[in-house]
Amino acid sequence: MEHGLKMTGQRRVIARVLSDADDHPDVEELYRRASALDSRISVATVYRTVRLLEEKGILERRDFGGGRARYEATEGGRHHYHLIDVDNGKVIEFEDPEHEELMRRVAERLGFDFVSMRLELFGKKRPQPAKETKAPARARKKKEAGS
């Protein structure tokens, strides 16, 4: 994750936290995780490091709503998309090769070489239909015996 960037010990910790993240943390969450590994890391250091990593193309900034930028490590060549639950902010990553191929064809039809794309869907989880619950077998037998 160096990309021509002087990697101090604190930057290495922050970069490791980012590369180990399986979610999309904001700066405050990055600070919490990084300072748990190295108590000398300040929130200002995290902000500066995030800015530098973003400028170098190592990190991507995402806006999933909620007023805070969230981040993820750049994954060269792998295209994935995000579905954001508007009720709880949970971000679900998914891949869709058919969608990617469609976007490639659209770019080609319009005279462009496909480079990259972003897709962020926002949705509400559908309520699950209530499952019919059956009384336990013992309860049914007692009821039948009493009838």
Consult the annotation and say whether 144 binds a ligand.
no
Consult the annotation and say whether 55 binds a ligand.
no
CA nearest 123: which of 95, 89, 84?
A: 84
What distance in Å separates the CA atoms of residue 98 and residue 93, rounded to the nearest whole number?
Answer: 16
Q: Bridge-partner residues for 120, per DSSP?
A: 82
* Structural contact between residues 62 and 73, judged by C-beta atoms closer than 8 angstroms: no
What distance in Å separates the CA atoms of residue 45 and residue 14, rounded to the nearest whole number?
Answer: 9
At which residue do the structure tokens 């005279």 appear?
111
Amino acid at 92: I
What distance in Å separates the CA atoms of residue 50 and residue 141, rounded to the nearest whole number?
Answer: 65
At which residue do the structure tokens 């962020």 appear?
120
Task: Give the tokens for residue 60.
Answer: 């991507």
Q: Which residues are annotated binding-site positions for Fe cation?
A: 79, 100
Q: Which residues are annotated binding-site positions?
A: 79, 100
